[in-house]
Amino acid sequence: MTKSEKAVQCFNNGFNCSQAVFSVYGEQFGVQSELALKIASGFGAGMGRQCETCGAVSGAYMIIGLKYGHITADDKEGKEKTYSMIREFSKRFKERNQSTNCEQLLGTHLITGDKEKAALRVKEVCPKMVQDAAEILDELLEM
């Protein structure tokens, strides 16, 4: 099973989009699955259901940080590499989905919008967002 398939399965098993992406990739960077699920838990549904940045995107951003991030304040090269990879991820995600914004992707707001429509849209849209984020991560982590 590919990582993108595992991430979609994780989402379909009841975890949020951010948890699905971050937990599947986190272990290869030393973040145990249980800890990854906790760290990513608030990022789902566009940051705590605020419908801001897509949780799958946020999960991917955190993984990019784990791979390319800097740990000293003077590591300008690491900082720039991380920011560059975040921009590249966003570009590729937008090429596939036109946006990284949860509300735009769903076409409704999870709190203020129609609840039935929102629930249906999450089932229709979010597995693809998780899969797309994972597939793009696979490409970028090889760079």
- pLDDT tens digits, one per residue of 90-130: 999 999 999 999 999 999 999 999 989 999 999 999 999 99
Claim: this prediction has a pTM higher than 0.85: yes
The domain segmentation of the chain, as residue ranges, is 3-141
Cα angle 94, 142, 68; round to 5: 80
The pair phi, psi for residue 85, each rounded to 5°, is: -70, -35
* Backbone CA torsion sign across 87, 97, 20, 46: positive
